[in-house]
């Protein structure tokens, strides 16, 4: 029996938040035929009891060294959300070290806030060999919301390219690095259709980089003073979901229609990180509600808990300056 590629989530510099735990419970229940791993960078992050049944927590060997090396190369502020910009790049080195350590040649990496549909096209991606696949956001930006790699050598090569690119431009983010890689290593890269080229689409599967998730379920309220905005296009994203019509089929598949074409949404990047979207049953009532309301125009709601979190963070930083 052929061993299926595992599902891997990387979460560095912290304990798993509620939405991520909920998502893992959903993944355990839905994709019961695949192994599930969470990669962390400290032993203490794997010791908490999250009440997960099949998920294995791993600290990849050599990851701390990779994080230190990246911090020396980049110019990103490490005080922003637990060194967010650097650890989003470090996760690719975590994946490489994990593959080497575990003798795994292929894996699916899902970001912790990505909701993957139960009908996700695993088999389509597993036909890819010695290549890397992920979706684009724009001509200058890509995302690892869904990131499939087959072949440790190609991932090692990609990480080497990242280090060389950061030496030339320390301001590059993970999204910029992925975009550069896709342009300079076309023979090693498979684009996952994310809404581009809808005049001549080659597939009915649509993989959300971030665009559709933000549109349907809102952006991160930490970026907008506690407000969650729905059904609003993102300016620097090439695809505009407002041009699509969304619906659910009788079998609970999410459809997106545009210019006479119909696409099956494979995943949604839940930037709002609202745990109500991550339930063990697909689709959640919250998601059904958002899809049903998606044609009604822009809307927003206030998140008091996020606003309190932002105030707490602001006061903490101010107090630390005087200590």
Percent of the chain at pLDDT above 90?
A: 78
- Count of structural domains within the chain: 2
Res 147 pLDDT > 90? yes
Which pLDDT score, from 0 to 100, does residue 198 have?
47
Q: In this model, does residue 200 exceed pLDDT 60?
A: no
Is 236 part of any domain? Answer: yes
Q: What does the pLDDT read at residue 7?
A: 98
CB contact burial 237-272 (16+ within 10 A = b; e otherwise): bbbebeebebeeeeeebbbbebeeeebbbbbbbbbb
Claim to verify: residue 218 and residue 161 sit in the same structural domain: no
Same domain, 239 and 124: no
Residues listed for the chain = 323
The answer to whether 108 and 37 have CB atoms below 8 angstroms apart is no
- Give yes or no: residues 232 and 145 share one domain: no
| Segment among 58-67, 189-198, 249-258 with least mean pLDDT | 189-198
Q: How confident is the model at residue 199 (pLDDT cuts 50, 70, 90)?
A: very low
Task: Give CA–CA dist 130/277, Å, rounded.
Answer: 34
CA dist 304 → 81, 115, 221 (Å): 19, 24, 10
Q: With contact defined as beta carbons under 8 Å apart, do 55 and 93 qualify? A: no
The predicted model scores a pTM of 0.93
Q: In angstroms, rounded to a whole number, what is the distance separating the alpha carbons of residues 120 and 281?
A: 15
Q: Is residue 197 part of a domain?
A: no
Kindly state whether residue 97 falls inside one of the protein's structural domains.
Answer: yes
Q: Among 192, 218, 244, identify where a domain stops.
A: 192
Q: Which residues of 138-158 are buried (b: 16+ CB within 10 A; e: fewer)?
A: beebbbbbbbbbbbbebbeeb
Q: Is the pLDDT of residue 1 over 70?
A: no
- Domain boundary at 134, 163, 192, which? 192
Kindly state the average pLDDT of the residues 132-143.
96
Domain range for 235 is 205-306
Confidence of residue 288 (pLDDT cuts 50, 70, 90): very high
Nearest to 269, CA basis, from 175, 149, 128, 199 = 175
148-172 pLDDT per residue, tens? 999 999 999 999 999 999 999 999 9
- Is pLDDT at 174 greater than 50 in this prediction? yes
CATH number of the domain that residue 11 is part of: 3.90.550.10
**Is pLDDT larger for residue 36 or for residue 65?**
36
Q: Which helix (DSSP H) or strand (DSSP E) does residue 264 occupy?
A: strand 261-265
CA 227 to CA 306: how far, in whole Å?
Answer: 8
> What pLDDT sits at residue 259?
86
Best mean pLDDT range from 107-116, 201-210, 308-317:
107-116
Q: How confident is the model at residue 323 (pLDDT cuts 50, 70, 90)?
A: low
175 and 277 in a single domain? The answer is: no
Q: How far is CA 27 from the centre of its chain?
A: 14
Confidence of residue 80 (pLDDT cuts 50, 70, 90): low
Place of tokens 């105030």: 311
Averaged pLDDT, 95-121:
97
Sorting pLDDT into bands at 50, 70 and 90, what band is 66?
confident
CB–CB of 233/242 below 8 Å? yes
Mean pLDDT, the chain, as a whole number? 92
Specify which residues 299 forms β-bridges with: 230
Say whether both 285 and 165 belong to one domain: no
- 30 in Cβ contact with 1 (< 8 Å): no
Greater model confidence, 304 or 36:
36
pLDDT of residue 238 exceeding 80: yes
Q: Return d(Cα 87, Cα 19) in angstroms, integer.
A: 19
pLDDT tier at 2, thresholds 50, 70, 90: low
């Amino acid at each position: 029996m052929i061993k299926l590629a595992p599902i891997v989530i990387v979460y560095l510099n912290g304990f798993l938040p509620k939405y991520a735990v909920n998502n893992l419970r959903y993944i355990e229940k839905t994709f019961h035929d695949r192994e599930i791993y969470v990669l962390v960078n400290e032993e203490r992050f794997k010791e908490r009891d999250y009440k997960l049944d099949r998920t294995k927590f791993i600290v990849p060997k050599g990851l701390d060294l990779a994080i230190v090396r990246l911090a020396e190369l980049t110019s990103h502020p490490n005080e922003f959300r637990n060194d967010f910009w650097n650890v989003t790049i470090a996760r690719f080195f975590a994946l490489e070290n994990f593959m080497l350590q575990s003798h795994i040649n292929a894996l699916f990496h899902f970001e912790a806030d990505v909701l993957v549909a139960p009908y996700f096209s695993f088999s389509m991606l597993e036909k890819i060999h010695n290549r890397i696949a992920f979706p684009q956001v724009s001509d200058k930006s890509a995302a690892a919301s869904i990131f499939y790699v087959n072949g440790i050598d190609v991932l090692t090569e990609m990480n080497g390219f990242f280090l060389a690119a950061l030496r030339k431009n320390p301001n590059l983010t993970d999204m910029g690095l992925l975009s550069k890689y896709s342009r300079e290593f076309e023979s090693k890269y498979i684009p996952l259709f994310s809404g581009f080229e809808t005049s001549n689409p080659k597939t009915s599967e649509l993989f959300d980089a971030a665009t559709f998730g933000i549109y349907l379920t809102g952006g991160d309220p930490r970026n907008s003073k506690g407000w969650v905005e729905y059904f609003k296009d993102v300016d620097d994203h090439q695809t505009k979901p407002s041009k699509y019509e969304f619906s659910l089929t009788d079998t609970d598949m999410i459809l997106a229609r545009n210019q006479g074409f119909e696409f099956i949404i494979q995943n949604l990047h839940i930037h709002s990180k609202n745990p109500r979207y991550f339930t063990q049953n697909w689709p959640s009532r919250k998601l059904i509600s958002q899809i049903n309301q998606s044609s009604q125009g822009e809307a927003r709601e206030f998140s008091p808990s996020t606003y309190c979190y932002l105030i707490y963070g602001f006061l903490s930083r101010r107090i630390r300056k005087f200590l």
